[in-house]
Structure 1
Amino acid sequence: MNTIRVIGLGAGDLDQLPFGVYKSLKQATELYVRTADHPVLSELAQEGISWTSFDEVYEKHDAFEPVYQEIADTLIALSAQQPVMYAVPGHPLVAEQTVQHLVAAEKEGRCRLSIEGGQSFLDAIFGALRIDPIEGFQLLDGTALHSDDVNMAQHVLIAQVYDSFSASEVKLALMEKYPEDYPVTIVTAAGSAGELLKSVPLYELDRSTEVNNLTTIYVPPVEAQLDRIKEWQTFRAIIATLRGPDGCPWDREQTHESLRPYLLEEAHELLQAIDEQDDEAIAEELGDVLLQVFLHAQIGQDNGYFQLEDVLASISSKMIRRHPHVFGDVKVGGADEVVANWESIKAQEKPATASLLDGQQRFSSALETSYNYQKKAAEAGFTWPDADGAWNKFQEEWQEFQQEAAKGTKERQLDEFGDLLFTLVNIARFYGLSPEQAMIQANSKFRKRFGHVEKRVTEGTGKFSDYTLEQLDQYWNEAKALARKED
């Protein structure tokens, strides 16, 4: 196994190339380069030095990853026959994916490497932009950039922006966080005689200047935290400030218990927005629900019991454990099998309880509690074989309630009415319906139709007392007819 000798060509021109690297290139009998598009190679060509480039490999693939893998595989195959010298732009271990593939192959025993430096383009970039990396910086790959990768509080350097297409992809990713007119700097050939810096608004990034393999995009940090409102850290800091010594008196007073009604309210408002298919309202209501989550997490941190990271770790590990067909090697045949696996894994995780109904109570909703109780009992076999049994039970409870309604005490009437509601919930279960959602929809329907009645009264005398029940009922039927037309 012969050695693959990897050499860095540096970030600039021949004058910046270390003398030792220059001598090695001059003495090379067989030199391979990732790309011939580099100022050092242009100058070496004038001195009669030749090489074989892998530029043609780029034409064979639609993405960069297979290009880098093929180059590495080719070099490994060549090294089985002879020693290989391979030259790359910059430093071999900075933003050079082909070398990372070679390093991985070396760990697997498939090749042997010797890596020699060349000036990293980072040194030249820091000098050109006059920035100190100790302030915090990110080096990101422009061919695989996601907005989640970007920390707006740091100096952001985006390498591997080769052409207008990759510049456009980088622009779109950045605009998910930054304003469209945020200033960015296009740095080309940093440290060389042809060094060029051009600052443009973000939206012009892909049409302002020609970019090439010596181009790096610089995004300066957003200094004010309240201007970084699309980052999780900012929202967390806002909540911590509100709960802090100089924050809001109301927020400081809240506890897990005091916030319960607000969480319920926000959840119901989100469900309403979903029912209305209002995307803007859904986004807003999701934010209100998220506020409750962050408040509870901050209270946990303030009390010293848990913090947001514990919440994230808990739900992330749960999703991984309960999706072995995604994160493991389990095979499933469909959604029903996924649910069965979920319940099986959940049962293994939960400690044994004294009753099947333990943990099924929902303090926020008696309807949901009733539904959960009956569902658990049914899973154990305590149910009718079909909906006919539930309907018969409903008729029985209906008659008992009518009897008590006619002559019974309030306590007995309440008891029998509860039994009646309980059977209705069971009927809903047989038909796969959520009684809670049904009640939400019924309330929403009533509100809309009664709103129409109010509108008609307002258009008339403005007083409900001036109308008979028959007239009001006519307005109600108008509302029903309008709703059917909309449907």
Structure 2
Amino acid sequence: MNRKELMNFLEKKGLLSPEDSLTMASGKEASSLPLTLSHILIVRDLSEKDEKTLCRRLLAAYDETSPVILLSGEGILRLSLKEMEMRSSGEKETILFDSRKAIRRPAFPWNLEALDSTVHRLLAPGGCPWDRSQTHETLRTYFIQEVYEVIDAIDRGDMDNLKEELGDVLFQILFHAALAEKEGYFTMQDVADGIRDKMVRRHPFVFDKNSTDSTLSAPREWEKRKRIEKNRKYLLSGVPKGLPSLLLTCIIQKKVSSNGIQNLLQSEDLPVEMKDQISRFLEDDREMDREMKAGAFLFELVHYLQEKGIEPELALHRYAAAYMRKLRAFEDYVIEKGGTIPDLSPEETLRLWKDFLAEQPSPLELKTV
């Protein structure tokens, strides 16, 4: 039923009155809805997964005995939050939750004081000899390993392990901050304040009450603000060249695409027929199947290249590094013409790119700029 029909139905059943204030949302918003509203919350078309998400969030803020009204194929059910959490259903449902009738849990704001104290104790005289011998440089491999373990937990859908691995990453962050504090560079508070201030600056359309320009949320505007803030001359300044080649390539392509100049990513060395074949191979409506097909394609490509005596990691890294040099040379070319890429339209950028390519060797032949 549509919104009006639902409202009429709830009023007829005495679950809602015309005077009631309410927020109505869809199940897809279950993970982002504010749960401390002082009026009725109605969430429609909840899948079982979204219902579990909403229930977990409600249980974090309210006692498990708090009442919930559930509309499903079984009719109108009056349940507690705990009963709703235990329930399984294969159909989409609607939930009505009135926080005024619920029992709030006492607020326990989290803090990092105990963990920060633990880190400093390990690094203090009489602490752990191994920890005290570490530097920012010696910890690099451990940081990378912990991040990959987070990714592995996410891929496996293992939330208990994800909680643990996020803790390991957090420990690494506090450890680096503690080392920096010992050396007099900065503290963990500086780190927290710095990232908070950065996010506020980068999101004026959220935090600036006087900002009404919705285009500020566009990726191109985000990149533009970053370049101005960091005083970076080039689009790819700040991209670490030591990244694994596939990750480096993804970052390059995202940064170029976010500036509205996707056409600069078109490889002239790859035949159109091959691009079409790849596109047809990957066509599938199901996201997971598309991902698996893409994985199969990359796996087979790696196998083929190695049979030909080519090291895929080095080949892709070499091409990506050459592209970075090529793009930097193009940006210099644009500056010589009296412009900058952020100020050009995608059409103008593409026209200058074609002019530039006509005067330059291929990316693989381009010398270091």
Q: TM-score category by the smaller chain?
A: 0.3 to 0.5
TM-score when scaled to structure 1?
Answer: 0.34
TM-score when scaled to structure 2?
Answer: 0.44
Specify the structure having the higher radius of gyration (Cα): 1
